[in-house]
Structure 1
Amino acid sequence: MRTSLLLCLLPSLVIAASPYPEKTPDTPGNRLIGRYFAEQTREIAAENGLAKIQTAADWEGKAPEYRRELFEMLGLDPLPEKTPLHPTKTGEVKGEGYVVEKMHFQSMPGLYVTANLYLPAKVEKPLPTILYVCGHANVVKEGVSLGNKTGYEHHGVWYARHGYACLIIDTVQLGEIRGEHHGTYSKGRWWWFSRGYTPAGLEAWSCIRALDYLETRPEVDKTRFGVTGRSGGGAYSWWITALDERIKASAPTAGVTDMQNQVIDGCVEGHCDCMFFVNTYRWDFERMVALAAPRPLLIVNTDKDSIFPIDGVFRIYQNVRRLYALLGKEGNIGLQVAEGPHKDLQPLNIGAFHWFERFLKGADTMAVIDEGAKKTIEPTELRVFKEIPKDEINTRADETFVPMAKAPAPATNAADWEKQNEAWMSALKDKVFAGWPKDIASVNPQKESSAEMDGVRMTAYDFESQSPFRLRLYIVHRDGLRAEDLELVALNVLDEEGWDEFCATYHSRFGKLIEVFPGAPKDDAAFEQEKKMFTSFKWGMAYLCPRGVGPTAWSGSEKAQTQRLRRFYLLGQTLDGMRVWDIRRSVQTLRAIPGFGETPLWLQAHREMAVDALYASLFEDGIKRLDLHDMPLTHNGTVAGDPKAVGPAMLNVLKYLDLPQAAAMAAMRTRTIIYAPDKAAWEYPATVTKNLGKETQFQVRKPVTAEAGNEEPKKKEEPKK
């Protein structure tokens, strides 16, 4: 069987047959989400670019904290323990003027990095050394992965023949042991967001440990490290350059562009997850690039690269070049542009070779590179393993690389609880929901319409949640009652299933008010049940569709929806994290509508919206009761069993707490009722409330059947004061 060699970014191959972003219908919801992404991207560029750096002192004061933030966003703060590398040589290949050692090391126990070390045939003194990090080259023969390092062997040969040591390391995804880079790209592993995990961090760690290994080699001059690589390897070159000042010169190739290209222009759709950090601090990419300063940096790209467009690359170059000028090191930054698409082209390689000759060897700037990098080695010759080690964790590294927080013992006194609650709230504000708006405008509720049918009144209010999303709140109660007359109002947070049920219930009477299309399903029996409740009790029902549900829903294929969710992530958010914000704003809206300011408020939701409502309740005072139906058990997607048990993605949340702890926080503020079959799963909040003398604040009830109804309270039950 012939060797398969694909030397480009795998996701781009999937998309190559058609331009991206994928065309979607021109609907109001799609226009809204497009406007949102554009506004957020521009906000990040304005607030977190380099424009505010005006002096060298500005940068020198901020750079250490920026570097710490990047470690954190890659899942490397705290830094993993530097355990023994156990470097192992498994063979050798000799060529004309060079020798290749086939070897592996463990960046942490069981996390194997397969590599090839290229050396000149004769080494008389320590050499300048290149760490070459691979792009996505899928090299497979007879069903055996030979590692993407074999797709880039010609680079190693060139460096060795020109007086360098060069270590080429495999990535996790396409190494000899196949891990995963496509968790959110195509595998549905949205829990990566909740874990604060990105394979970019794992690859950055491999680079750090590779430098640790190289420092042990007598052939290596550890004061002259350079790094390069293209595509995915270009990205990893950025990570290690920004994180580790042992890198003295850098030439990342086709590995970065700005947020405008990624989010607005849709380049994110051509990249797997290894290209992105978890953007907790809402950076544009130029800040990461700037962490190379003032060391020699060559930005390398082609002019027709569809996934790293030259306009974004040039914007980054211009902004970072200004910083180098402020530092008095403008001669240390360069831009190498070659004609062509996203490919491993010789003009790009020559530019990198020239850069390292200058800055690692001190060669004449007019020196001529005598030859390009040519493929000479059969890929099978570079295979490291004959058998995959049984203790490898590469294939499940996403489950362990970023540790989850362990639930602390339930608090037994008020002081301990207050301390723990404060720590969790701080983490939620700063690490999980940091993408919420900083400048909070008035909700500005506007009464849009009102109608009465069969003794029931429905009123629609529009309010400002976050530009450009102006959402609608429907309030329903017995006609003739004023807001001041209501004994409670229950705010129902709807997902698509809930929205469909709401529309079916009220279609016959209020179809025009809720703009239900003709011929939509009707459920007159459900309306009669609601009418009976309104007749019996002085209760109001409010209904909210957070962004992306009902009136603001966006449309398109499953792939289009996947790429929208990934755009939120690049902006330092998740969709459900922003829906929590929408729920908060709906609570504020109810309080702002005349007559509802003092009305007891209940909050009800189902499924993933129950999780969103739970978190919203932690940030809004005066909610008397939570009713959470079909509640997921955890944010951790590695749990076995029903996938419905896994809650929606919230950025970084599992580094601090999980849903049982969030439920305990809510129960200490308001009466919380979870409708779930597994009472034992909610032992944590039950124990906390019992220990602190508030056991009536938390209850687990059996799920309410559809026949019994579960959209609203079915018996008069006064909220706890």
Structure 2
Amino acid sequence: MSLFSRLVCFLLLCNFGLLAQDASPTPSPGNAIIDRHLIRETSELSRRFLEGAQTREEWEAARTDLRQKYLDMLGLWPLPERTPLKPTVTGTLELDAVHVEKIHFQSRPGLYVTGNLYRPANVQGKLPAVLYVCGHSGRGRDGNKTAFQHHGMWFAANGYVCLIIDTLQLGELAGTHHGTYNKQRWWWQSAGYTPAGVECWNGVRAIDYLVSRPDVDPDKLAVTGMSGGGAATFWIAAADERVKVCVPVSGMSDLQSYVDDKVCNGHCDCMFLYNTYRWEWTTIAALIAPRPMLFENSGYDPIFPMPANERIRERLAQLYRWYEKKPGDLFDIGITPGGHADNVELRLMAYRWINRHLKGDNREVHEPVQAVIDGQRLRVFPEDQDLPAESLNASIDETFVSLGKPVPPRTHAEYLTWSKTLTERLEATVFREWPDQVAAAVIRDQRPDGQLVLGTDDEILVLARRHEAPQKLPRSPEQRERLWLVILNPDEPEATLPAWVSKTALAGQSTVTISPRGCGTSLAWTQANPPNYVERAHALVGRTVDAGRVYDIQSVARWLHEAEGNELTIGVAGRGAAGVLGAYAALFESSISEVLLVEPPTSHREGPTLLNVLRVLDIPDTLGLLAPRHVTLFNADEAAFRRTEQIFQGAGYESRLTRRSSPR
């Protein structure tokens, strides 16, 4: 009997309380397990407001670096080039006191932004300007800007230039906000692409356009919007200090609300950045201080609940106290009765706040009844044939974020620098706050069928089962015993050795199968598309499910290694995405000395999903980082993994990479 088997028997006999008392234990449901894990994550991050700054001086010293990190989490760092806007007015509606210009510009070549610019009919000198960003109010081909025309009419009638722009999802040239919400575009997370980044950049470039106009005072700019527009107000004002005043309306909750209370299920992807740096969410809004901010909401808004609103208010009030002469000077809240709606009370508070801070005007305001302009009259592109064929709006997710393209090393010396640089970047943006050594898994239970339930990351449970070789293979005295850890995908039955194992070099060897978190029928969580809660909630705390699975693999490998007195070496093997997860585990776990991949995906676009990984490298590069470990590829794409061969050759380890075919 191996030391591994003796250890299991010893624990079972002693009954240290780690094992279930019932002969047929029922594991905790997967939903409860992952919910507890996510709640623990949000609890930790909720203590990180202002990244620990305790004084105004500490905050101001940190702010520049935090703004850069913020832009990075939107996919906007380094900042994109400010390419020519090519602004074009396609027509003007001349109403009694207000003129409406129908305008488009390109925030990046081919990324069209359509909008309506409202201005007084008679302009004298430079006027303060308002950028109004829209929420989710579908108006088809007219664009959602037409649903918020009453804001533009009021501002223009009261001496402002107001530009209302369509969103990417609901504009005249529609893209999508729903990549991870219901379209299964998990590669968005791997690429670090979020439509929130597009909405932010479109807003920044809209400000570029406004300040270029002769009728706009560039020192008097405000931004406001509701719901999705409230979120965009935060994105833009935090990114661009030219915004002097902002009024976000029902646009932000906090992690406790989004994750613990699952409020993120009511939101599409434009409402979120990827929390790479694991911030307390209100830190985003804090980047706006000390500029005046009125934070508005309604008392019974179900997707921006008031308890979260109150927590955000308390945090921001704490920050603004460092700048205000008296409370309410620079930061205030506005609450109205009712649910999620663009109501007149919210609008009047916004008008007053902007008047006060851009004009020094504290008078009461009123909103007269306005005639509604037919949406077709406000179209920038009147007919379908007018839409620009070169528009990239529908496919901007493919090109918006710059992806990593590391040059393969040509020499061993180059390889050492190359691997060090890429590993450091992975640790900084993909596996951030990763432990130097993951703790060994702990036995929680053994089932009657021999399966072990192991605890890896506090609440997380995974399944493992030993499969002994028919007979021990001969080895020399200096050779250490190797055990293969076979990683199962969600579609592979738990505890069962997959058929592909018998067609590889693992045939006849001792193995342990592992179903990492969320895999295996008895510990899987509910999958619902939409809203894909578990996968999207992970990104809000700076993780992905697959990153957690890498952790599980490391933890189980470390446990096996330590259980054998550190004499056992571990090989990891998996089919498809599971094999790639094993490769990442090998990068960070010293006990793993060999990796075998069967039919590996050629790119993280296919999986597995790891936050920002495509901004650093792709799977062929990752496998190159494993040198000088032994790597075996079965049925791997010839062209894609030629790059891996080049890396091993350049490093001087070509003998450590094996490519094979096996019967399918």
The two structures have a TM-score, normalised by structure 2, of 0.90
Partner SS, residue 560 of structure 2: helix
Q: State the AA in 2 paired with 1:57.
A: E
Q: State the AA in 1 paired with 2:248.
A: P
- In the other structure, the counterpart of 1:701 is 660
Of 215-224 and 467-476, deviating more is 467-476
Superposed CA deviations along residues 89-127 of structure 1, whole A, max 9, x for unmatched, are 110112231111111111111111111110011111211
- In the other structure, the counterpart of 2:10 is none
Q: State the AA in 2 paired with 1:699.
A: T
Superposed CA deviations along residues 17-50 of structure 1, whole A, max 9, x for unmatched, are xxxxxxxxx962111011111111111112x224
The yes-or-no answer on 1:556 pairing with 2:552 is no
Structure 1 residue 704: Cα displacement: 3.9
- 2:118–2:162 contact (8 Å) kept in structure 1: yes
Which of 235, 241, 263 matches 1:267?
263
Equivalent residue runs for 1:262-301 within 5 Å? 262-301=258-297
Equivalent residue runs for 1:166-565 within 5 Å? 166-328=162-324, 330=327, 331-364=329-362, 367-372=363-368, 374-386=370-382, 387-408=386-407, 410-434=408-432, 436=434, 438=435, 442-443=439-440, 445-446=442-443, 449=446, 463-477=454-468, 487-500=481-494, 502-503=495-496, 539-550=509-520, 553-559=523-529, 562-565=532-535
Of 389-398 and 370-379, deviating more is 370-379
Which of 609, 612, 617 matches 2:586?
617
Superposed CA deviations along residues 382-414 of structure 1, whole A, max 9, x for unmatched, are 101131111111111000010112241x21211
Partner SS, residue 241 of structure 2: coil
The yes-or-no answer on 1:94 pairing with 2:63 is no
Of 385-394 and 221-230, deviating more is 385-394
Structure 1 CA distance for aligned equivalents of residues 310 and 41 of structure 2: 21
Q: State the AA in 2 paired with 1:607.
A: G
- 2:250–2:298 contact (8 Å) kept in structure 1: yes
Structure 1 residue 623: Cα displacement: 2.5
Q: State the AA in 2 paired with 1:169.
A: I
Q: State the AA in 2 paired with 1:361.
A: K
Structure 1 CA distance for aligned equivalents of residues 74 and 455 of structure 2: 34
The yes-or-no answer on 1:138 pairing with 2:138 is yes
Partner SS, residue 105 of structure 1: strand
Structure 1 residue 472: Cα displacement: 4.1
- In the other structure, the counterpart of 1:607 is 576
CA spacing shift, 1:309–1:187, aligned 2, 3 Å? same
Which of 641, 644, 657 matches 1:682?
641
Structure 1 CA distance for aligned equivalents of residues 127 and 444 of structure 2: 74
Which of 655, 668, 674 matches 2:615?
655
Partner SS, residue 116 of structure 1: strand
Structure 1 residue 700: Cα displacement: 1.7
How many residues are aligned here?
A: 629
Structure 1 CA distance for aligned equivalents of residues 339 and 545 of structure 2: 33
Structure 1 CA distance for aligned equivalents of residues 533 and 438 of structure 2: 29
Partner SS, residue 90 of structure 1: strand
Of 175-184 and 370-379, deviating more is 370-379
Structure 2 CA distance for aligned equivalents of residues 480 and 388 of structure 1: 70
- In the other structure, the counterpart of 1:20 is none
The yes-or-no answer on 1:578 pairing with 2:548 is yes
Equivalent residue runs for 1:42-61 within 5 Å? 42-46=43-47, 48-50=48-50, 52-61=52-61
CA spacing shift, 1:399–1:55, aligned 2, 3 Å? same
- In the other structure, the counterpart of 1:515 is none
- 1:435–1:573 contact (8 Å) kept in structure 2: no
CA spacing shift, 1:460–1:27, aligned 2, 3 Å? closer
- In the other structure, the counterpart of 2:21 is none
Structure 2 CA distance for aligned equivalents of residues 229 and 497 of structure 1: 44
- 2:348–2:366 contact (8 Å) kept in structure 1: no
Structure 1 residue 678: Cα displacement: 2.6
- 2:33–2:461 contact (8 Å) kept in structure 1: no
- 1:29–1:551 contact (8 Å) kept in structure 2: no
5+ long unaligned stretches in structure 2: 1-26
Aligned residues: percent identity? 37
Structure 1 residue 496: Cα displacement: 3.1
What's the Cα RMSD here? 2.7
- In the other structure, the counterpart of 2:83 is 83
- 2:132–2:224 contact (8 Å) kept in structure 1: yes
Partner SS, residue 607 of structure 2: coil
Q: State the AA in 1 paired with 2:333.
A: L
Structure 1 residue 424: Cα displacement: 0.8
Partner SS, residue 532 of structure 2: helix
Structure 2 CA distance for aligned equivalents of residues 308 and 503 of structure 1: 45
CA spacing shift, 1:441–1:603, aligned 2, 3 Å? closer
Partner SS, residue 424 of structure 1: helix
Structure 1 residue 447: Cα displacement: 8.2
- In the other structure, the counterpart of 1:17 is none
- 1:301–1:337 contact (8 Å) kept in structure 2: yes
- 2:30–2:526 contact (8 Å) kept in structure 1: no
Partner SS, residue 620 of structure 2: helix
CA spacing shift, 1:440–1:671, aligned 2, 3 Å? closer
Q: State the AA in 1 paired with 2:609.
A: A
Runs of 4+ residues over 6 Å off in structure 1: 479-486
Structure 1 residue 552: Cα displacement: 5.8
Q: State the AA in 2 paired with 1:104.
A: H
Of 481-490 and 681-690, deviating more is 481-490
Superposed CA deviations along residues 519-571 of structure 1, whole A, max 9, x for unmatched, are xxxx9xx99x89xx99xx7x421121111112663343532672211111111
Q: State the AA in 1 paired with 2:356.
A: R
Structure 2 CA distance for aligned equivalents of residues 695 and 121 of structure 1: 73
Structure 2 CA distance for aligned equivalents of residues 61 and 388 of structure 1: 47
Partner SS, residue 499 of structure 1: coil
CA spacing shift, 1:299–1:450, aligned 2, 3 Å? closer
CA spacing shift, 1:447–1:339, aligned 2, 3 Å? closer
Partner SS, residue 681 of structure 1: coil
Partner SS, residue 496 of structure 1: coil
Partner SS, residue 54 of structure 1: coil
Structure 2 CA distance for aligned equivalents of residues 504 and 370 of structure 1: 72
Of 563-572 and 151-160, deviating more is 563-572
Partner SS, residue 174 of structure 1: coil
CA spacing shift, 1:496–1:167, aligned 2, 3 Å? closer
Partner SS, residue 129 of structure 1: strand
Structure 1 residue 442: Cα displacement: 3.9
Superposed CA deviations along residues 474-512 of structure 1, whole A, max 9, x for unmatched, are 333269989999832111111233334x4489xxxxxxx
Superposed CA deviations along residues 304-323 of structure 1, whole A, max 9, x for unmatched, are 11111111011101111111
Structure 2 CA distance for aligned equivalents of residues 635 and 39 of structure 1: 28
Structure 1 CA distance for aligned equivalents of residues 447 and 336 of structure 2: 63
The yes-or-no answer on 1:589 pairing with 2:559 is yes
Structure 1 residue 171: Cα displacement: 1.1
Partner SS, residue 640 of structure 2: helix
Structure 1 CA distance for aligned equivalents of residues 436 and 320 of structure 2: 33
Of 192-201 and 692-701, deviating more is 692-701
Q: State the AA in 2 paired with 1:675.
A: F
Of 304-313 and 619-628, deviating more is 619-628
Q: State the AA in 2 paired with 1:40.
A: E
